Amino acid sequence: MKIDKSTIVSFILLVLIASLYRVVPGRPMGFAPQIAMALFGGSVISDKKISFLLPLLSMFISDVLYQVLHNYGLTPLSGFYSGQLTNYILFALITVIGFWIKKQNVLSIIVGSLAGATFYFIASNFCVWAFGGLDINNLPYPKSIAGILTCYSEAIPFYGNSIIATLLFSGILFGGYYVVNKYWVKRTVIA
C-alpha cells in the first residue's frame, strides 16, 4: 500500500467519523464500527504496524470525547476506565484476526466479522468477570460458574448488536474499498 496524501486524509477521516459515531447519544450499546475497523485494518493495510492504528486511534479519540462529555455532565459514561488497556489489547488482537481475511472474498469477510465479534464477546466478558467488573445491579460478579454464566448472559444483547454492527460496517468498509479500487483506482491508472 503506497502511503500518499489521499491515503492519509482517508485514514484520518475514517478514524474521526468512527470516533464521533461511537459517542452518538442513543446509539445501541455494542453497536459501533471499531471491530469492523480492526478487521479491515488487519486485512487491507499492508504495513501491519500501521494496521493497528486504525481501531486503536479511533478508540482513543472516542474515549477522550467520552471523557470530555462526562466531565461536562453530558453522559454518565466516562472515557477513561479501569479496563481500558485490556480493551485496547483485545482490539489489537481483533486486528490480527483481520490478517486472515481475504479482502475480496465475501465469505471470508463474513466469517472474519463473526469471529471478531465473537472473540470480543468471549474475551471481554471473561475479563469483566475475572477482574471484578460489575453486573447490572452494580455488584461484582461472583467468582463462580454461576457468576461467569451471569456475566455472559447479561452481555448477550451487546453481542447481538456487536454482530449486526460488525457485519454492517465490514460490508461498508470492505465494499467501499472494493468499489473504490475497481472503479476509481483503475480509472486513474488508465487515464
Instruction: Delimit the domains of the chain by residue range.
Output: 5-190
Distances (CA, A) of 142 to 12, 132, 151, 156, 157: 42, 9, 9, 18, 21
Range 110-117 average pLDDT: 98
49's enclosing H/E stretch is: helix 48-51
Cell of 149: 454464566
Question: Which pLDDT does position 190 carry in this prediction?
Answer: 47
> If pLDDT is split at 50, 70 and 90, which confidence band does 129 have?
very high
pLDDT at 1 over 60: no
pLDDT at 5 over 70: no
Residues 58, 18: Cα–Cα separation, whole Å: 6
Tens of pLDDT, residue by residue over 55-79, are 888 888 888 988 998 899 888 888 8
| pLDDT over 70 percentage in the chain | 88
pLDDT at 131 over 50: yes
Tens of pLDDT, residue by residue over 80-102, are 988 889 999 999 999 999 999 98
Residues 28, 145: Cα–Cα separation, whole Å: 28
Span 5-190 CATH architecture? Orthogonal Bundle (1.10)
- Neighbouring CB atoms inside 10 A of 64's CB total 14
Question: Which pLDDT does position 149 carry in this prediction?
Answer: 97
pTM: 0.85
